[in-house]
Amino acid sequence: MPRRKKCRRVGFIPPNQLFYPQNPNEEQVTLQIEELEAIRLSDLEQLEQNEAAEMMNISRGTFQRIIKSARQKVADALINGKVIHIGGGHFELAEGGQGMCRRRRFRGGRD
């Protein structure tokens, strides 16, 4: 029996959740909220992986898997002209905001 997924902590929900290339094809890539948070912490905030993992309340190994998946999805969308949709995942907002963890039974972000 697999372990229960730990709820990942994120710092914000992005106001823009769809990004289109100039000439999009019909395919779409879905970037989960925690994947975007990993990109934000690692690439924008330039945190070390262990610091970013601690902020997200996950292990460094889990952070590495999340950031690898996120970068692969972004590269696929940029190279192949796919729409990027940001949403979904298993997360909670830091500082008492709403998230999307089963144990809390509520959703954050926009509908």
Q: Is residue 109 part of a domain?
A: no
For 30, the domain range is: 8-104
Q: What is the mean pLDDT of residues 46-53?
A: 97
Considering its fold, how many domains does the chain have in total?
1
Sequence-distant (6+) residues with CB within 8 A of 54 are none
Residue 104: pLDDT band with limits 50, 70, 90: very low
> For residues 32 and 88, is the Cβ–Cβ distance under 8 A?
yes
Percent of the chain with pLDDT over 90: 69
Q: Is residue 36 part of a domain?
A: yes
* Single-letter amino acid code for the residue at 24: P
**What is the reported pTM?**
0.81
C-alpha 28: how far from chain center:
16
Residue 103 scores a pLDDT above 70: no
Least confident of 45-49, 58-62, 93-97: 93-97
Q: What is the DSSP letter of 103?
A: G
Residue 12: pLDDT band with limits 50, 70, 90: confident
Q: Is residue 76 part of a domain?
A: yes
Q: Is residue 3 part of a domain?
A: no
Q: Is residue 1 part of a domain?
A: no
Please report the pLDDT score of residue 107 as a whole number.
41
- CA neighbours within 13 Å on the CB side: how many for 54? 5
